[in-house]
Chain A
């Protein structure tokens, strides 16, 4: 495990090299609160409740979910693998003694740790600003919500690793990346809170992992979901994570053998 921590550390270090980038990340994180205020202020104009959310709870949901979404940088995993495989550069990872999947997980952990330095304070400030009147949910649900964030992010990295390594066979997985990003964004509640959707759709979505990456932890954290429901979601996520890990390992072993890297 030590070598993967070393990867996390080196990618964390790489993030804090440029002071301007660090400053922009900090400003962007704080700007999130202002942006939420403006957007949802317009949506709620003249209304007290939208889809079961009050203005303050919607703001809180938006800020918390967008903070988690910021940490979800897994999109880069499939794109990067796709690029490296297409250009024959992936070989540099194949010749060093690492587990490929753990490498991408640890790389993401390094970058996410950096981003967390900014989004965590923003989430806490938002809780204090918009959660006036005290936390209405169960403390156990909030803890579960916190635990589900790394689980969800790990699933997304594994899922994108799985997509990316298909470049060994298909040479370009750009279409898969595009298709899944639209689907995932919708099902994660990154566009709208998914409890605004019809019940039938909601029941299907509950069995998919994507809503449990951003939506479920956000709802648990803002007190909008009870512990039992959260536990079911965590179970779904764990099953998907285990399944996706096994599928990714299996696919990597099979697909890398098909890799020829002709002309490179």
Chain B
């Protein structure tokens, strides 16, 4: 059953433009010029109940605009849209009670008060019955391991602790759909990992449909079986995340270390990254890397050889740059 459906969804923004300098500013007072930006163009999307979907795209690709339309914050210019059976931009309370949004840079917490104060407020806002409230608070506090922070001022929490509290606030009313916009932004590696574990657990245990927008490809790769790549407002990929990375992650990083000075010749079809008499790093095609490593081991007798997956950032750049044509 689809919980999110869009068909031919488009959003066109009008943007004010002016020439540089004082003359341009004065001129624009009398003769204002606007240009149109197609933030989202003819976007078709179907997301089923319980799915965990990643929305990937560079800055200005239209990800946030799409999420804003799905949550009802802005109205589409044209096309059809339905979330949980509602037209989002009507912003009916019955609709808003069934979803939640966590935006990395927009907090719902009251910074001067404690997380518990905000939890209690949201209990009233969403008319959460006492037993469900207690059950959910207990479940999430244990899952996130934040019991020691419940009665301290939010202002004094670290970013990671605060994000966990934001997530609890969002999940208290057991939303059917959760929109996550950059939930791990600014978090250190350990907190990011922890956050991913929690989200995976919530999706599995509660059956919450999650649409995740993130610049951290590791978020998408480890959490979302399905990915949607958006570029220039259009959908350029919609399918398995593994397939996406398999298609674009075509190289491996090979590192060889030597105990004596070695004059290394970079193999055919490989790209040199770094070279010294005792160490060499290069990129090699993923296909046939095992054969290549074995040949190099015989030829150079290195003291250590490692082969790592290509840096995810580089893969992403290739996805964005090449669309589906690579």
Binding site for B on A (CB under 8 A): 2-3, 5-7, 10, 13-14, 17-18, 89, 91-92, 94-98, 256-257, 259-262, 264
Contacts and interface: CB of A to CB of B under 8 A. Distances in A.
Query: Interface size bucket, B side?
Result: 35 or more
Contacts of A2: 124, 127
B113 A14 contact: yes
A92 B89 CA distance: 14
- Interface residue SS majority, chain B: mixed
B75 A7 contact: no
A63 B123 CA distance: 41
A252 B124 CA distance: 24
Contact of B68 (A3, A91, A92): A91
Please give me the 3 A-B residue pairs with the lowest Cβ-Cβ distance, nearest first.
A6-B124, A97-B93, A97-B96
Contact of A94 (B72, B112, B123): B72
Given A6-B125, A96-B96, A96-B125, 20 more contacts: A3-B124, A3-B125, A3-B127, A6-B123, A13-B117, A17-B153, A18-B112, A89-B106, A91-B106, A95-B73, A95-B96, A95-B99, A95-B101, A96-B108, A97-B93, A97-B97, A98-B125, A259-B74, A262-B13, A262-B15
Interface string B13-41: 11100000000000000000000010000
A17 B156 CA distance: 14
B126 A97 contact: yes
16 contacts: A3-B127, A6-B120, A6-B123, A10-B110, A10-B117, A10-B118, A10-B120, A13-B113, A17-B153, A91-B73, A91-B103, A91-B106, A257-B89, A259-B73, A260-B13, A262-B13
Interface of B: 13-15, 37, 64, 68, 71-75, 89, 91, 93, 96-97, 99-101, 103, 106-108, 110, 112-113, 117-118, 120-121, 123-127, 153
Nearest to A259: B74
Contacts of B101: 95
B106 A92 contact: yes
Nearest to A94: B73
B177 to A, nearest CB: 12
Nearest to B93: A97
Contacts of B64: 264
Contacts of B123: 6
Contacts of A17: 112-113, 153
A257 B75 contact: yes
Contacts of A91: 68, 73, 103, 106
